[in-house]
Amino acid sequence: MLTSGNAPPTTAPTGAASANTEPASAAPARRLLFAAVVAVASGALATSIATSTPWLGIDVARPDGAPTTTVGAVAPNGGTPGLRVGSTWVALVVGADTMVLEPGDLIEEPDFIDDWATSRRFFVRQQQLTSMLAHRTVTLVVQSPLGERTAIDAHPVARPWQSLPTTFWFQLVIGLVGCLIGTWVWALRPREWGTRAFAVTGGGFLLFTHAAAAYSARELALPGTLFRALSAANHLGAIVFGAALCVIFLVYPRRLVGTRAIGALVSGMLIWWMADTARLAPDQNWASRYPVMLEMLAALLIAAVQWRRSAANPAARAVLRWFAASVLLGPGLFIALVAASAAVGTGPVIPQAYAFGFFLLTYVGLALGLHRYRLFDLDAWATRVLFWGAVATLLLLFDTALLRIAGQGSVRALTVVLLLGTFTIPMRQWVWSHVLHRPVIDPEQLVDQALGVAYSATDKERAQRWRQLLQQTFDPLQLAPRTHDEAGAENAVVLRDQGERLCIPAVASDAPLQLTHAGAGRRLFGPADARLADRLVTLLRRADASRTAYEAGVLGERERIARDLHDTVSAPLLAGLAHVPDRTHADGPGDAADDAGGDPRSRAVNDEIRRALGAMRSVVRGTSTPAPLAFVLADVRFESVERLTAAGIKVDWPVVDVGHHVLGGGERDALTAFLRETTSNVLRHAGATSVQVVTVCEQAPDGVRLHLRVRDDGRGLPDGHASVTDGIANLHARAAALGGAASVVSRTDRPGTEVTLQARLAPDLATS
């Protein structure tokens, strides 16, 4: 686990919310948006540099990346329309000055030059060529494939950005993507060394790709001083990337060294870079190639140490294996195919511009690892921040492109800008409203939802609706129970970590909760959020107190009614039943038949009275508890079959598998009452000889769908439909309590009545 640099927690007195004045601009999405602005500005600067020198419109062919002066293409809008493809560019002439071109002048990367003398000569020639191209008219000496030399007057023009090669845009895009992903991780954990180091790798990657893009896209030359500065920036980005890579493995998954050791490592690599810039190293190998390879080797060795330290932790090893593979594969391939090959004198295997693409393996691997292994202890919800950062970056790029098009000044360009700008207004408003806008909360709706939480039927439902209310109100990146209560925060809403977290006390039958980063990561929690949360908690506590007082009053009234029923109804009925002989255990059938008390109808009456008294006590007490659906159906089936059979009615009620769903107390009472009422209607009104009951239970995303159908072969309904009576009204009320509906109609296929119930049972309470 990474070390945490969190500030000491702040506490608030009981019943009050703590305040925090941290600006919302420090929220994750804002950090990521800031990084996107910097990356886009870096790309714009690289584009400006690449288009700053005069342009002749000549594209020299570079097969396999080898420098050459053979003309591969000539742009019609360039300064040399008369130049022929396939000829060789021999020299550049301005007045009395003549420079014979060399293949080395068009080398993609000056790092491929080994010794300092050749390197100095290269930058001097770049300065001279740039000075010559600054004239309005220059003369090109070209040689045809047949050996004939020709002098062509050329007029350098401003280079359009559309003429920049594909390699330029490739390097710009991968640098932006790498920076965005690196900053994305840091934006979510800004105080931890591992995420800071990974963000630094993104910054280093942006620096060396955009610097290389600026000078490798040149047509012929750049000013020598500018070229050297870009080359030094390229080396700095590479050194910073490698040093940050080592720091990552020094602190992740476990912290191996202290801050001083990390500072010494970074300082040492920066000193090496300064020696490289001052050309104090013996040659290019020691200046830029060996340090990068040394950093990669050091990262591998540190990763091996981390692997050994994690021997007893399989989870840490899995994270380390994935992270090490994704981090080391990309830079490793680049070093093997570019830096190492140049060090041994064989030259790069592929152009450096495309080799930079290997580094994306690191960042794509990290993005996948966040979902699979929770690298840096981040959850999958982190993708929300990256998504909005990417959308904001695309908008910035789009706006930059519109400005470049508008800068051309032509009527056609302005028309394109006007059309694109008009048609993208709805999309732009939607994106910016989601990225920057904080939704306005309707107070009346908020109060209604809070009261809905307080008066939910079950504890589980109350907790679920409470979390839904918090999610809807604050839209946090993460909402989870607190692993431990912080001192002084048990009964109050508290802001933590300068507004990154909002701690909610236990309320609404739920545990204490922690909300992380408001507005889907676009902002921090502020004092207004804390006050709003505190009002919601206070409102729910008052509602809970009112509910408790109400339930206490209901319970007292039920106890009074129960006592009155016992004294005035139950006791006389039970006393009367005690005087009715019960011969169900007589010695023989003759004795039972001789006694009126042993008559089956008498016994049935006695059972009905006792059952009615038991049901009456249950209703008055209101103490029905949750029970499995299968058990409830079995009990009602046994009772109903007993009642119907005693009346001489044949019952076909097969037992079916209804799963393990658990009914709440209210659902249990409603279902039992529905089936009892249906059975009583058959006994009293149907005149039936048989009854069939069909039960179907289906699992659904929002609970369980229960389908019941009770058919008898009796006389049916007078007009085919049931009139509104107390019994029928009770059936509809019980069905509504089950979240469904009931129907009572005469059968169409044969005599009799059909009662159906379509119910939607609440989600399973077994886990509550």
Q: Which of 27, 2, 6 is nearest to 385 (CA)?
A: 27
Residue-level pLDDT at 379: 53
Q: What is the mean pLDDT of residues 640-659?
A: 86
Outline where DSSP puts E strands in 559-623: none
Q: Residue 155 has what DSSP assignment?
A: -
* Polymer length in residues for the chain: 768
Residue-level pLDDT at 441: 61
Which amino acid, residue 430?
W
Q: Is the pLDDT of residue 435 over 70?
A: no
Buried b (16+ CB within 10 A) or exposed e, 544-572: beeeeeeeeeeeeeeeeebeebeeeebee
CA atoms within a 13 Å half-sphere pointing along the CA-CB vector of 706 = 29
% of the chain exceeding 90 in pLDDT: 22
Q: Give per-residue pLDDT as tens, 92-112.
A: 999 889 999 988 898 888 988
Q: Give per-residue pLDDT as tens, 699-718.
A: 776 678 889 999 999 888 87
Residue-level pLDDT at 423: 64
DSSP H helices, 134-223, are: 166-188, 193-216
Sequence-separated contacts (24+) of 280-283 with Cβ below 8 Å: 283/114, 283/115, 283/116
Task: Return the higher-pLDDT residue of 379 and 611.
Answer: 611
Q: Is the pLDDT of residue 618 over 80?
A: no
Tokens, residue 558: 């039920």
- Collapse the DSSP code of 126 into the 3-class scheme (helix H, G, I; strand E, B; otherwise coil) and give the result: helix
Bridging pattern class, strands 149-154 and 478-481: unpaired
**Dihedrals phi, psi of 439, to nearest 5 degrees:** -65, 145
Residue-level pLDDT at 584: 44
- Cα 729 to its chain centre, rounded Å, is 48
Residue 309: C-alpha distances to residues 150, 249, 297, 305, 313 (Å) = 70, 12, 19, 6, 9
Q: Mean pLDDT score of the chain, rounded to an integer?
A: 77
Q: Most confidently modeled of 103-117, 266-280, 442-456?
A: 266-280
Q: Is the pLDDT of residue 506 over 70?
A: yes
Q: Which of 325, 271, 267, 336 is nearest to 299 (CA)?
A: 325
Residue-level pLDDT at 709: 92
Buried b (16+ CB within 10 A) or exposed e, 413-447: eeeebeeeeeeeeeeeeebeeebbeeeeeeeeebe
Bridging pattern class, strands 690-700 and 650-652: parallel
Q: Give per-residue pLDDT as tens, 118-173.
A: 999 999 999 999 999 999 999 999 998 888 999 999 999 989 988 898 889 999 99
State the DSSP string of 475-537. Answer: --SEEEE-SSPPTT-TTS-EEEGGGTEEEE-S-TT---EEEESBGGGTB---HHHHHHHHHHH
Residue-level pLDDT at 400: 63
How far is Cα 98 from Cα 88, in angstroms, rounded to an integer? 16
Q: Which of 147, 157, 135, 164 is nearest to 81 (CA)?
A: 157
How far is Cα 401 from Cα 395, in angstroms, rounded to an integer? 10
Among 206-220, 567-581, 720-734, name the one with the lowest average pLDDT: 567-581
Q: Which of 315, 313, 311 is nearest to 323 (CA)?
A: 315
% of the chain exceeding 70 in pLDDT: 71
Q: Give per-residue pLDDT as tens, 179-237.
A: 988 888 888 778 888 889 989 999 999 999 999 999 999 999 999 999 999 999 999 99
How far is Cα 619 from Cα 122, in angstroms, rounded to an integer? 98
Residue-level pLDDT at 596: 41
State the DSSP string of 651-718. Answer: EE------TT-EE-HHHHHHHHHHHHHHHHHIIIII--SEEEEEEEEEEETTEEEEEEEEEE-S---T
- Collapse the DSSP code of 191 into the 3-class scheme (helix H, G, I; strand E, B; otherwise coil) and give the result: coil
Which amino acid, residue 611?
R
How far is Cα 190 from Cα 643, in angstroms, rounded to an integer? 71
How far is Cα 282 from Cα 677, in angstroms, rounded to an integer? 100
- Cβ–Cβ under 8 Å, residues 223 and 130: yes
Q: What is the mean pLDDT of residues 586-614?
A: 54
How far is Cα 696 from Cα 478, in angstroms, rounded to an integer? 39
Residue-level pLDDT at 323: 80
Residue 745 burial class via C-beta count within 10 angstroms: exposed 0-12, middle 13-18, buried 19 and up: middle
Expressed in angstroms, the distance from the first to the final Cα of the chain is 32
Q: Is the pLDDT of residue 395 over 60?
A: yes
**Dihedrals phi, psi of 667, to nearest 5 degrees:** -65, -40
Output the pTM of the full model.
Answer: 0.57
Q: Give per-residue pLDDT as tens, 481-495.
A: 886 555 444 578 888
Q: By 3-state DSSP, what share of the chain in percent is helix, strand and coil, each rounded to 5?
A: 60, 10, 30
Residue-level pLDDT at 15: 37
Residue-level pLDDT at 765: 45
